[in-house]
Amino acid sequence: MADAGDARETLLRLLLDGPRRYTRLQVAARAGLLPEQTRRLWRALGFPDVADDDPVFTDADVRALEVMRALVDSGFIEPGTEASIARAMGQSLSRLADWQTDLLADALSRSGAGAGRRAVPPEQAVAAARSLFPLLRQVQDYVWRRHLAANADRLLTPAAAVDRRELAVGFADLVGYTSRSRGMGGRELGAMVEDFESTASEVIARHHGRVVKTVGDGVLYTAVSAIDAVEIGLELPEAWQAEDRPPLRVGAAYGTVLTHLGDVYSPVVNLASRLTSVGRPGTLLVDRDLARQLRGLPRYRVRPLRRVSVRGYEDLQPWLVRRRPPGEADLALESMLDEMADDVLEEDPEQ
C-alpha cells in the first residue's frame, strides 16, 4: 500500500508531466530566457518564490517557457507584456484548480463510505486523479474553444475597435452580505455563494451578457445591447429572491469601455458601482445614457431619482427602471410622468 508521500509524488508527476529535476536557473537557461524573466513570470502566475537550488521544475516548464518566448519572437505577444498575460491566466486558472480540487476531494469522501476524507487510501486518490484529470482537460478545452467561437466577430475586427468598445456595464451586489456571512458556517456560506454565482451566470448568459468577474458578494457583467443589460438587471433580483437569501440590487451604465486581458476598465465601470451602492434592495438604477436608450419603450417605466453625492460624482442623477405593468401606459398620470422624465433627460448635463 502506498503511503501519503509516495502518492503525493505520483500526483505531482502526473500533473506536472514528469519528474521535477531543474532549478530555476537551469530552466531559464534551457528555455533561453533570463533568470529574472522566469522569476517575474512565476510570480505573475501566482506561485511563491523558490530557492535557486531547489529542483522543482520539469521538462513541461521548459517547453512552456519556450512557447512563450516563441510567441514574443513572432510578434504575437508584445515584449514586456508576458507578465500581464501570465497574471490574467494565473488568476483565472487558479480559481478553476481550487474548484476542481474540491470536486475531487468531495468525490473521494463520498466513496469512503462516510469515513471522511482522511480515511481514503492514497492509492485511491491517485487512481481517481488518473481517470478524472484527462476528462477535465477535455472539458476545459471544449469550453475554451466555445468561448473563442463566441468572440469570433471580434477576431475579425481591427485591434483598436476591439480594445475600446461601446458596452453596457452592470454590477449586482448582495445587500448586507458582510453582516449575514458572519453568522454562517463555511459550508453554508459556500453554498450561498455558489447559488448566487450560478443564478447570476444563468441570467446573464440568457440575455447575451458576459460575466467579467465575481467577488463573493457581487458580480460584474457586460452586454453589447442596452436592453440586454437592463433585462439582466431586472431579472437578477427576481431570480435570486428568497426568504433565506440577502436581497440583491443592481446598477448599470453605458459608454466607452477599455477591454484588456478579459477585464474592463472605464469610468463607466465606476459609475455602475456607484449606482449600485445607492440603490435600494431589489432595484435597478441606471445612468443617463442607459435611461435615454429606454425612451419610448412601453415595457419599461424609467423615473429620475433625487441627485446624490457619492465618491467621484458630486451630483449623480440615478434613474430607476422597472417593468411597466400591463395597461399602465394608458393612465394619464403615468403619461405625464413619462413626459417629465423625457424633459429631465433632455436637460440633464454631462456627468
In sequence order, what are the beta bridge partners of 301?
322
Rounded distance between C-alpha atoms, residue 252 and residue 268, angstroms: 9
Provide CB contacts within 8 A for 197, sequence distance 6+.
Answer: 214, 219
Q: Is the Cα dihedral 155, 161, 166, 167 positive or negative?
A: positive
Task: Output the pLDDT for position 37.
Answer: 87
Which residue is associated with the grid cell 468598445? Answer: 165
Q: What is the mean pLDDT of each run of 10 residues along the chain (351 residues)?
A: 71 87 92 88 86 90 90 82 83 82 76 53 80 88 86 64 80 84 76 86 90 86 94 95 90 92 87 92 93 86 85 85 74 62 62 45
Longest dimension (CA), the chain: 82
Task: Output the pLDDT for position 111.
Answer: 64
Rounded distance between C-alpha atoms, residue 331 and residue 342, angstroms: 17
- Kindly calculate the radius of gyration of the chain based on its CA atoms and give it in whole angstroms: 25
Task: Output the pLDDT for position 290.
Answer: 93
**Which stretches of the chain are DSSP H helices?**
4-16, 24-31, 35-44, 59-73, 82-111, 122-150, 152-155, 159-163, 177-182, 186-206, 226-240, 267-278, 288-293, 332-347
Task: Output the pLDDT for position 113.
Answer: 46
Residue 329 corresponds to which amino acid?
A: A
Q: DSSP of 96-116, one letter per residue?
A: HHHHHHHHHHHHHHHHTTTS-
